[in-house]
Amino acid sequence: MGKSQKAETMFMGASTKQGYNIASKSREIVRSLIADKIEGLSEDEKSIIERIVHSTADPEYASITKISDNFISESINAIKDEKDILTDINMVKAGINKYEGQIKCYISNEETIKLAKEEQITRAAAAIRIAHDNGFDGIIVIGNAPTALFEAINLVKNEGMEVRSIVGVPVGFVGAAESKEVLKGTEIPNIVTEGPKGGTPVAVAVTNSLIRLKNG
């Protein structure tokens, strides 16, 4: 199996020749749209941002996506070690593929629903706390809920939660921008999308890019 065959089964989510042709044409268009905005970034950083723009058809992500210096290397190390990936919602979990380790999401667990009610917090935030209670160690991927991102930062800072990196791309007009600014100010290796935008396709694009980067 030659190199081009391998590319066909891996490239930007495409798994057939037809899908590969579409993804390949899409990448050309994405590059023409955002090349000037991502000039000076590393090849790995560019590949992540290109995949976000490919997945959302929204070139604005080239301007608002910010990657901390150690994010890619720390994330790839965690993926090599097959550390857990924790997502805030099941939609994000459903989009991540070809990962050798475990992908976890506690939002529908009974413990989570109970904790949310008791502590008067969102289920998304409670789900992160339940993960910590269950000995989580790995990468956190937040594609939806700012409350989950705030809780993750809190648990890292105050309760020693073992977090290798955070994909922090919650979406919305209430708290999302603020939660991402707080994350940027921490020592946690991170990627964020500044402002209200973000969401499941962004979270999935970043995570699948990292898995692909690890595979080389």
Q: Which residues are catalytic?
A: 54
The C-alpha atoms of residue 148 and residue 26 are separated, in whole angstroms, by 33
Q: Annotate each residue in 13-42 with x if it binds a second copy (CB under 8 A) or - if it does not, as one string.
A: --xxxxx--x--xx--xx------------
Q: What six digits make up the tokens of 126? A: 């409670």
Note whether 120 binds a second copy by CB under 8 A.
yes
* Residue indicated by tokens 């999401």: 105
Which helix or strand (DSSP H or E) is residue 78 part of?
Answer: helix 71-80
Q: How far is CA 183 from the centre of its chain?
A: 13
The residue among 64 and 76 lying less far from a second copy, judged by its C-beta, is 64
Cα–Cα distances in angstroms (integers) from residue 14 to residues 22, 67, 156, 163, in the given order: 8, 25, 36, 30
Nearer to a second copy, 41 or 91 (CB): 91
Size of the site for a second copy (CB under 8 A): 43
Question: Quick one: which of 138, 168, 189, 198 contacts a second copy (CB under 8 A)?
Answer: 198
Please answer whether residues 150 and 179 qualify as being in contact, where contact means their C-beta atoms are separated by less than 8 angstroms: yes
Give yes or no for a contact between 20 and 7, defined as CB atoms under 8 angstroms apart: yes
Of the candidate residues 47, 147, 190, 207, the single one contacting a second copy (CB under 8 A) = 147
By CB under 8 A, residue 110 contacts a second copy? no
Binding a second copy (rule: CB under 8 A), the pick from 197, 209, 210, 212 is: 197
Closest approach of a second copy to the CB of residue 103, in Å = 12
User: HSE (CB half, 13 Å, CA atoms) of 188?
Assistant: 31
Chain positions contacting a second copy, by CB under 8 A: 15-19, 22, 25-26, 29-30, 54-58, 89-91, 93-95, 116-117, 120-124, 147, 171-176, 195-201, 204
